Each structure stands twice: as C-alpha cells, then as structure tokens.
Amino acid sequence: MQYRTIGQQTVSAIGLGGMPMSIEDRPDRARSVAAIHASLDAGVTLIDTADAYALGASDVGHGEALLARALRSYGGDVSEVVVATKGGHTREPDGAWTLDGRPEHLREAARASLRRLGTDAIGLYQFHRPDPDVPIEESVGALRELLDDGIIRMAGVSNFDADQIRATVEIVGDGFVSVQNEFSPRFRSSEGELELCGELGLAFLPWSPLGGISSAGELGDRHGAFAEIAADHGASPQQVCLAWMLAKGPHVLPIPGSSRPETIRASAAAAELELSDEELARLDAPTAG
C-alpha cells in the first residue's frame, strides 16, 4: 500500500467507499463487516461514509453505525484509521435524497455523526453537496465552527466546483483539507477541480472512481485501453483505473465503493501497479474513457 496525506494525516492512497453497504440492495451486516475488516487487513486507513447512507429517514446513520461496529470488532490496531463522513444530504421517509445545507442542520448532523461513530472527534467531516437554497458561505462557515469547537479534526467538501472550492479556502482556512468529487473513466469533467486541488494543497478524493468499468470487467469501445493495458500487466481493468488515478498526483486518493472482501482487496492491490508514461497517455486520451 502507498500512503499519502490529507491535511497533516497520513492515510492509505486508496480508501474504501462505504456507500454500497448501506443503501438499496445492501448486503447483510456480516458481509459488510467482513469487507471493512478485509480493507484494514490490506492496509486501508481511509474509510468514507455519510449519515445519508441509509434506506430512508428512519435509517439515517446506518453507514456510520456499521463502520463503528466493524472498527470495534476488528482484532488489530485501528488508531491510524481516518473515518471520513459527510452531512448535508438528507433522506426522506420514502428514501428520496434531499438537501439541507443550513448551518444549524450541519452543526446538529455532525454531532449526531460523532455520537454514532463513538470517537472523540470526527477525523474528516465533509459538506456532502451544495444546497441551492443556502449560500455556500453559510454552509462552509458551519465547518469552521465545528473545527473551532473540536467536533471535527479536518473539514472537506464534496461535489464542489472551482469557485466554490476557492471560496471555502477563504472561509475555512487551514482546516479545509479535501474535495470529494466524481471522477472516473466515464466522468472526467471534474479534472479541473482535481488539478486545482493539487495547486491549493488539498487532497482530491474521486468518488465512483470505477465508473464506466463494470464489476465484471466489461468495457465499451471507449474504455478498451484499460482492458488492453490490464492484460499486459496481468491485472484487472479496475486496478489499472485506480493506478491511472494515483498517477495524476500525490494528492489524489480514490475511494472505490465495495461491500465484498475480495473487491476491496483487489482495489487495495492497485497501489502496487506502476504504469509507464506511454500507458498513462493512452488512458488520458478521450477515447480511453
């Protein structure tokens, strides 16, 4: 496993995205706990979840409670694990996803997340998605308050554009350490934000990093380069995808979602895969993704 930094904290270069363990079609708890334990065994020390990773309003916090249970039951040392969670998305009783970026909601949600996680402070707390009804300045101002109150150790944002990222730097200051945006072979429009994060010294956490590459390894014509290069390395297209992302800069830490021990082990192993400059150029080409 490679290791990189978020703020001043060293974490694994590849994290674990916990969303599949808590939303629709989620597996039973035993398999999810086994997947989390397998990630820890593989050297993963960054695990991402959210209070909205649940089936609906009555289930809010499922992902956080599940992760807390898995960490407590793990037989090894978890003191270096950074738990990243998010607030600002909400779930309706029927399961619909809604937004609430009000500062008072974020302050309350963060404290509820802290109780579910059962720690002294949340390692990384991220504003999940901008709320068009609330000025960004008000929402991220709540992150600054949570830092000052010691509820969270580091602050991040998710699904932000470049202007919103710059505004957050001005408001939150040094406590602002990361941006989590969608980025994958299928979705590359956030590459500008990825590059901006490198310039500003922020970690960039691609969510849904394997988009465009199915779990079965099936690729369309536009993704053929990932399969071809994978065959040359005796690896999977998914592993090549993660290695390609890691090569984009030392500030990039993909968080592939998983609910199976075998898939997170395979993802973690991608940190060992080195791609040549020629291979990276092929994968960067628009026709590759």
Catalytic residues: 53
Distances 231 to 121, 219, 235, 237, 282 between C-alpha atoms, Å: 44, 13, 6, 8, 14
Strand partners, 267: none
Distance of CA 179 to the CA centre of its chain: 9
What is the token pair recorded at 106?
């974020």
20 contacts 259 by C-beta, under 8 angstroms: yes
Give the bridge partners for 182, in sequence order.
207
DSSP string, 47-95: EE--TT-SSSGGGTTHHHHHHHHHHHH-SS--TTPEEEEEESEEE-TT-
Three-state secondary structure call for residue 273: coil
Please list the residues that pair with 16 across neighbouring strands.
47
**What's the rounded Cα separation, in Å, for the pair 214 and 211?**
7
Rounded Cα–Cα distance for residues 248 and 45 (Å): 21
CA dist 134 → 100, 141, 169, 251 (Å): 8, 11, 18, 29
Bridging pattern class, strands 203-204 and 152-158: unpaired
- Distance (Å, whole) CA 177 – CA 191: 18
Nearest-5° Cα angle at 192, 272 to 163? 130
